Amino acid sequence: MDYYSLKMRASQQVGEGEQKHEQHISGAERIVCHDNVEAICAAMVRRALTHSKGDPDFINVKIEKINESDIQILKALPVTRIDVDTWQQGLDKALELITPLMGSGCGLREKLQELLRETFPMRGAMLYDVATATRLEPDHARGVRATYMDALHSSVVDSCKNHFNEAIVLATKVANAPGMVAEFCISDDPNYITGYVASKELGYVRIMKMKEMGDENGGRIFLFDSRKASAEECIEYLQKKKVLVEV
Ligand code: WAQ
Ligand code: MG
């Protein structure tokens, strides 16, 4: 069967004079079969045109054919959930699960919180090496983006974002990247407060409250171990490998 990768990104010019720049509004990506290309494209464009962040004045849609033999099929990480009363408890839980994976040592909790704050302005994820305690993204301002992934057999043509469905696909691909230890994620959408931590060992652990409602700060940290793989092969996998996730 023929598959196609579809990618959409939409942006808007904001500011005046020196301050003028492109602001990201919406983005989406899918891997779909030939017969679904048209409908999914239309849905993506609709998503861009109806986004709450505003009216885009630039929409880019990219369609690429991909070989079925280049696609890796992965089983979705098993999902569990942790209910908490407050977002502070949720954040605590997440830190509790993830710091042991960063190795031993004191101050890891504070370190992780500091890293999280550094991700707030980024468009991609931070790639943090737990072996050397350094950041490995080629571009610190942008971060690393996981791409070329979708749910297997998903012909869903929805024009609004389903946070969980997209996140389980991304987290499954990321957990399978060479040298990956774990992922930590909080959405940057102000009204989406559920976040997660994930790894092959932990599975996908949803934490129902991880930030205050209305807070537009969020980010992702990919914890990586350079003793297990090279940063290049990990980044290559995240950015280039085509993955379909069986959910
Ligand atoms: N690759 C790497 N980093 C990314 C990517 C990507 N493809 N997409 C987003 N990010 C980074 C970016 O810095 C964002 O600011 C941040 O992650 C959050 O992205 O089980 O919606 O798309 O219900 O806002 C979790 C679902 C939803 C939890 C997470 O993230 C659940 C979400 P968002
Ligand atoms: Mg977002």
Instruction: Give yes or no for residue 115 having a pLDDT over 80.
Output: yes
Question: What DSSP element (H or E) covers 163?
Answer: helix 163-175
In this predicted structure, which of 108-122, 148-162, 183-197 has the lowest mean pLDDT?
A: 148-162
Scanning 99-208, the segments in alpha helix (DSSP H) are 108-119, 163-175
Ligand 1 midpoint to CA 170 (Å): 8
Sign of CA dihedral 166, 169, 170, 172: positive
Please tell me the distance between residue 9's alpha carbon and the centre of ligand 1 in angstroms. 15
Residue of the nearest CA to atom 24 in ligand 1? 187
The C-alpha angle 126, 132, 138, rounded to 5 degrees, equals: 40
Mean pLDDT, the chain, integer: 94
Three-state secondary-structure class, residue 27 = strand
Whether 125 lines ligand 1, by a CB cut-off of 6 Å, is yes
Least confident of 26-40, 68-82, 216-230: 26-40
**Whose CA is closest to 203, among 236, 242, 167?**
167
Query: What pLDDT is attached to residue 26?
Result: 86
> If you measure from the C-alpha of residue 187 to the centroid of ligand 2, how many angstroms do you get, rounded to a whole number?
5
Which of helix, strand or coil describes residue 201? Answer: coil
Region 26-52 average pLDDT: 92
- Strand, helix or coil for residue 222: strand
Q: Which of 38-64 are b and which e, b meaning 16 or more Cβ less than 10 Å from the residue's Cβ?
A: eebbebbbebbeebeeeebeebeeeee
- In eight-state DSSP terms, residue 144 is B
Q: Is 7 near ligand 1, meaning CB less than 6 Å away?
A: no
Q: At which residue do the structure tokens 């652990």 appear?
A: 205
| Ligand 2 centroid – CA 58 distance (Å) | 18
Average pLDDT over residues 145-150: 96
Q: Which band of pLDDT confidence, cut at 50, 70 and 90, is reported for residue 204?
A: very high
Cα(22)–Cα(15) distance, integer angstroms:
9
CA-nearest residue, atom 29 of ligand 1: 187
Q: Which of 187, 202, 240, 243 to mutate to test the pocket of ligand 1 (most atoms within 8 A of CB)?
A: 187
Contacts of 164 (CB under 8 A, 6+ apart): 194, 206
The CB of 196 under 6 Å from ligand 1? The reply is yes
Whether 53 shows a pLDDT value over 90: the answer reads no
Residue carrying structure tokens 């350079």: 226
Q: Is 189 in the pocket of ligand 1 (CB under 6 A)?
A: yes
SS3 93: helix
Closest atom of ligand 1 to 79 CA is 20
61 versus 154: the higher-pLDDT residue is 61
Determine contact, residues 183/174, Cβ cutoff 8 Å.
yes
Q: Is 218 in the pocket of ligand 1 (CB under 6 A)?
A: yes
Distances (CA, A) of 201 to 53, 176, 178, 179, 184: 36, 11, 14, 13, 14
Nearest CA to ligand 1 atom 15: 219
Residue closest via CA to ligand 1's atom 9 equals 124
Q: Which ligand 1 atom sits nearest the alpha carbon of residue 189?
A: 24
Question: Do residues 137 and 127 lie in contact, with contact meaning Cβ atoms separated by under 8 Å?
Answer: yes
Q: What is the predicted pLDDT for the residue at 157?
A: 64
| Distance (Å, whole) CA 78 – CA 130 | 24
β-pairing, 21-33 with 126-129? unpaired
